[in-house]
Structure 1
Amino acid sequence: MSRLPFYLIVALLLAAGIGLSVHRHVQFEVPWTPGELRQVWEIEAQVNFRAEGGPVKVNMALPSTQRGFRLLTEHTASPGYGLSYLEEDGVRRALWSTREAAGSQQLYYSAQILAAPQARGNEVPAPRPDPSVAWEPPYDTAASEVIERAWSRSADAFTFARELIRDFGDERQGENARLLLTQFDRVPLLVRLLNQADVPAREVSGLLLEHGRRRQTLTSWIQVHDGDQSALFDPSTGTQGRPDNLLLWEAAGQAVLEVEGGTNSRVTFSMLSRNQPAAAAVRSQLAEDAGTLLNFSIHSLPLEEQALFQTILLIPIGALVVVILRVLVGIKTSGTFMPVLIALAFIQTTLVTGLVGFLLVVAVGLVIRNYLSYLNLLLVARVTAVIITVIAIISLFSVLAFRFGLNAGLQITFFPMIILSWTIERMSILWEEEGPKEVLIQGGGSLLTAVLAYLAMNNPWVRHITFNFLGVQLILMALILMLGNYTGYRLLELRRFKPVTED
């Protein structure tokens, strides 16, 4: 029979598991290792204005997820005002409104921004330049000469913008530039000249992020488009490029703040930077995007279910340990996957407490089960009696531990009682049929396997990977399928060949 379908299934599982895991790391920035820290900015915008006693409408630009930054959460504080969020072509704005307001007014907007180098946002469409710009004499002649001079020393839209901006700097500023600056502000003037030269450009507003700064204002930048590409320019120096700490607050060339029914409006910003675990920093993003096809996220579930799945997803790791030890090493255990359930109990009780409790319960249970064997009970009744006995033993040990102040002993209740009962039953029958040596071999193998499974399942890296990357479950399935295809000797079986090597 051809093994090709088997190998195709294994390859498909591996490819799908690795692909899903890499996709979550790249697209949603879920870290590979636990304990990674991410920089999160707490930004507060304070809007101040004086209301005139009538209806008021306040329209303010809002940040969005963009290159280098991801918006996590946002909140507002505006007593007495209605609030709505508007979005069009990737441009977000907040609109506050009220029927009547008088005197000094303060509105607050706060946002959590994650520094995410791999984040990307929706690009705002490039503006349409209007070459037919009307100038009054003598500014029309000065504008034409400034454009012609910069155009002759440039090769494309970006180099033209850089040369044009430098011509308005202190070092290269000519008479035409000085004449234009007497009538127009620098940034709107540069955008107007760029549009006259048929170069798409707009004025955008950004916030330079610095830890602990208060009462900061937005800075103006010039965004120039050349086909599908765009670049930011510093209007004072002509430097091309976007600083790493620049958050574009308004990127559509619109007003940052518009107030109807008020005067003396202004907006200031305060900011703080802090580091927090990467998993917590991206948790809200994972929950929001949980409905997408390639993001099967446990984070979309309620916290109680998340805690449950965090333990359930560890079971395949313990099962893999059991498969390796039984198939490759040849360790005998009492029950196929009983060690995995005991390892889960160890996670709840801690290893030392779990080992002591397991040995006590099984030892006392074997003594009582030995007495039950003389009663010649049917199997179902005998196992039921063992279950009740195990419950009584655990209850007795818990009470005694509490009486003696051993709080760790109370955690013995986490043991799976049905599994313990069947373990006692199987060991008792094995004692009668094979003797105490075989009981020690299988009991010791079960404990050794449970301890190794516990160490693997309780590892922080393993817990992090299995909980955050569900594609790992497909990889584990592929590995178990490959191990299930193994037909060679087990390591413990090689002892039979020791006399051959001695000869």
Structure 2
Amino acid sequence: MQERIPFYILVLLLICIGLGSAIYRHLSLEIPWLPGETREIWSVEARLEFVADGDAVVAQMAIPDTQPGFTLLEQATASPGYGLSYLTEEQLPAVRWSVQKAYGKQVLYYRATFLLDSKQTEAWPPPPEVLPAPILPEPITLAALAMIEQAQARSADQITLAAQLMNALGSEDQQVALLRQNRSLAEAALLLMQFASIPARQVTAVPLRHNRRNQDSVPYLMVYSGDQVAFFNLETGKEGRPARLLIWEMEDQPLIDLVGGSNTRVSFSMLREVVKIQTALEEKYADVSAMQVSLHSLPLEEQKLFRGLLLIPVGVVVVMIMRVLVGLRTSGTFMPVLMALALMQTTLGAGLAGFVLVVMTGLVVRGYLSRLNLLLVGRISAVIIVVILLTATFSVIAYNLRIVEGLNIIFFPMIIIAWTIERLSLLWEEEGPKEVLKQGGGSLIVALLAYTLMSNHYIQHLTFNFPGLQFVLLAIVLILGSYTGYRCIELIRFSPFNSADQEKGK
């Protein structure tokens, strides 16, 4: 028993490494356990228009950054003739265009690509300092204090207080009319927040709607209460931040700061693209070393190759279970795995029919070659040539009969088919056709089981996106390889002896 302890430790270590690697990739890189998930990628373009005065122009526009719900993937500008710089180290992220002289209408573009990302937990900027309330005429001050007193009786914290005040601003009360005299809703709301000592700031937001053009931004009020943040639409007074609301500017700064021009206008266009989650994650984690060393960093052609190769251990486990535990006999140890790989390139019915047809015809030809007393190398070489000729012949016949699936027989490995024919032929000569049917039938059964698992989308997703699970499969293979007990078929075969022993006991 003590001699087996290192073996059990090795198996346990392999399982822990495999499962730990998979859990790490799921938690750190957000790779899902299930296939088929998608993500939204939004391309948002800001169009800045203004009229230049004919002198030097400096235009600075606030730009968005990664924020809760959104991850910035890339950004670019289109500004021919203008110098460009990104002010990313400033408190207010911005892009600045400059030119020595410009005249007439000017149009500048800025484009940002964002991933709609529910896992993004980037912190909001800290709350602004609450300044003392301004000195206003006494009627306005009394109206504001009265509104705050009424709202405090129906609120529990700063956010609920702000919500009550925003609701009050939407009414036609006399106090509201006095407060909003010569003031917009945004100005009145900020004034009330100042009187109530509520940390708040006005932000510029862009509602994302697919395939929209020339859309204006929307002002929002951002209210703080400890670690909580709430948003209020300053056009409608409603509370809440929709899932597809991109905060474009959030530092109490003007959206546009222009020197050398006038009549500025900023409009937004946006486009949504729904992509597979793996594509989105590759862009999100393009600079993360864990993603750079993964299979997803390879070219697409190599990725496709490894998607097939990583399925082979799954087929190997199936073969070991069927041979070691069940007791099925196959023609060749892992020939069923190669058959399953070939079947994945064809339709199941056409692939099986083509394989059986080629093997049966090859057995007939091999029977004739055995009479020529050829050497093994010559015999195998002849069988390979015959298999290629048979494959070409059947493909031409299938094409002329309009059986397109018959062309897929070319995906079967010719060398493997030739060795299968040679092995079955020798088996026929030495042990008879019954043994050929046993091993040939066992090979087909195991190949079908391996094909069923290897063609499963869930299995394909796990093996490619969590390559560490190969260690778990290795551990299973080691466990199966150390099994020395009875096989299921042997238990069935020896069951008459058990019955006889029971009758003797009676």
TM-score by length of 1: 0.81
> How far off its partner does 1:436 sit?
2.0
Q: Any unmatched runs of 5+ in structure 1?
A: none
8 Å CA contact retained: 1:286, 1:297? no
Instruction: Give me the whole-angstrom Cα distance separating, in 2, the residues matched to 1:360 and 1:10.
Output: 43
8 Å CA contact retained: 1:222, 1:234? yes
Residue 484 of structure 2 is aligned to residue 465 of structure 1? no
Residue 442 of structure 2 is aligned to residue 445 of structure 1? yes
> How far off its partner does 1:55 sit?
3.9
> How far off its partner does 1:446 sit?
1.1
Q: Any unmatched runs of 5+ in structure 2?
A: none
1:126 counterpart residue number? 126
2:334 counterpart residue number? 337
Q: Could you tell me which amino acid in structure 1 is paired with residue 119 of structure 2? A: A
Instruction: Give me the whole-angstrom Cα distance separating, in 2, the residues matched to 1:164 and 1:110.
Output: 37
1:250-286 per-residue CA deviation (whole Å, 9 max, x = no partner) reads 2333322333332111112344557x35x2x550432
C-alpha spacing 1:418/1:91, structure 2 compared with 1 (3 Å): farther
Instruction: Give me the whole-angstrom Cα distance separating, in 1, the residues matched to 2:284 and 2:156.
Output: 44
Find 1:369's aligned residue among 366, 371, 374.
366
Superposed, which structure 2 residues align to 1:242-321 within 5 Å? 242-271=241-270, 276=274, 279=276, 281-289=277-285, 292=288, 294-295=290-291, 297-321=294-318
Instruction: Give me the whole-angstrom Cα distance separating, in 2, the residues matched to 1:91 and 1:384.
Output: 74
> How far off its partner does 1:329 sit?
1.8
> How far off its partner does 1:231 sit?
3.2
1:67 counterpart residue number? 68
C-alpha spacing 1:365/1:233, structure 2 compared with 1 (3 Å): same
Instruction: Give me the whole-angstrom Cα distance separating, in 2, the residues matched to 1:146 and 1:11.
Output: 69
1:422 counterpart residue number? 419
8 Å CA contact retained: 1:163, 1:238? no
1:47 counterpart residue number? 48
C-alpha spacing 1:115/1:386, structure 2 compared with 1 (3 Å): same
C-alpha spacing 1:375/1:82, structure 2 compared with 1 (3 Å): farther
2:202 counterpart residue number? 203
1:433-485 per-residue CA deviation (whole Å, 9 max, x = no partner) reads 22222122111111221122222222233333333333443443344444444
C-alpha spacing 1:475/1:54, structure 2 compared with 1 (3 Å): farther
Instruction: Give me the whole-angstrom Cα distance separating, in 2, the residues matched to 1:268 and 1:85.
Output: 20
C-alpha spacing 1:96/1:10, structure 2 compared with 1 (3 Å): farther
> How far off its partner does 1:102 sit?
2.9
Q: Could you tell me which amino acid in structure 2 is paired with residue 45 of structure 1? A: A
Instruction: Give me the whole-angstrom Cα distance separating, in 1, the residues matched to 2:249 and 2:206.
Output: 9
Residue 387 of structure 2 is aligned to residue 390 of structure 1? yes
Instruction: Give me the whole-angstrom Cα distance separating, in 1, the residues matched to 2:64 and 2:394.
Output: 60
C-alpha spacing 1:381/1:213, structure 2 compared with 1 (3 Å): closer
1:232 counterpart residue number? 231
SS of aligned partner of 1:349? coil
C-alpha spacing 1:283/1:156, structure 2 compared with 1 (3 Å): same
1:330-354 per-residue CA deviation (whole Å, 9 max, x = no partner) reads 1111112111111111122322332
8 Å CA contact retained: 1:131, 1:196? no
1:56 counterpart residue number? 57
1:225-257 per-residue CA deviation (whole Å, 9 max, x = no partner) reads 444443334457876543334222223333223
8 Å CA contact retained: 2:147, 2:175? no
Instruction: Give me the whole-angstrom Cα distance separating, in 2, the residues matched to 1:303 and 1:410.
Output: 25
> How far off its partner does 1:358 sit?
1.9
Instruction: Give me the whole-angstrom Cα distance separating, in 2, the residues matched to 1:358 and 1:440.
Output: 15
C-alpha spacing 1:265/1:406, structure 2 compared with 1 (3 Å): same
Q: Could you tell me which amino acid in structure 1 is paired with residue 362 of structure 2? A: G
Alpha-carbon RMSD: 4.0
8 Å CA contact retained: 2:220, 2:231? yes
C-alpha spacing 1:247/1:438, structure 2 compared with 1 (3 Å): same
8 Å CA contact retained: 2:391, 2:410? yes
Instruction: Give me the whole-angstrom Cα distance separating, in 1, the residues matched to 2:316 and 2:457.
Output: 18
8 Å CA contact retained: 1:18, 1:475? yes
Between the two proteins, the alignment pairs up a number of residues equal to 496
Superposed, which structure 2 residues align to 1:80-159 within 5 Å? 80-81=81-82, 83-88=84-89, 92-111=93-112, 113-116=114-117, 118-129=118-129, 131=131, 135=134, 138=137, 142=141, 146=145, 157-159=158-160
Q: Could you tell me which amino acid in structure 2 is paired with residue 221 of structure 1? A: Y
TM-score by length of 2: 0.81
SS of aligned partner of 2:214? coil
Instruction: Give me the whole-angstrom Cα distance separating, in 2, the residues matched to 1:48 and 1:319.
Output: 64
Q: Could you tell me which amino acid in structure 2 is paired with residue 125 of structure 1? A: P
Q: Could you tell me which amino acid in structure 2 is paired with residue 439 of structure 1? A: V
Q: Percent identity?
A: 48
Instruction: Give me the whole-angstrom Cα distance separating, in 1, the residues matched to 2:268 and 2:78.
Output: 15
Instruction: Give me the whole-angstrom Cα distance separating, in 1, the residues matched to 2:126 and 2:102.
Output: 38
Q: Could you tell me which amino acid in structure 2 is paired with residue 51 of structure 1? A: A
Instruction: Give me the whole-angstrom Cα distance separating, in 2, the residues matched to 1:90 and 1:488.
Output: 71
Q: Could you tell me which amino acid in structure 2 is paired with residue 119 of structure 1? A: K
C-alpha spacing 1:20/1:109, structure 2 compared with 1 (3 Å): farther
Further displaced range: 435-444 or 121-130: 121-130
1:492 counterpart residue number? 489
1:477 counterpart residue number? 474
1:17-47 per-residue CA deviation (whole Å, 9 max, x = no partner) reads 4454455555555454444455555544332
SS of aligned partner of 2:264? strand
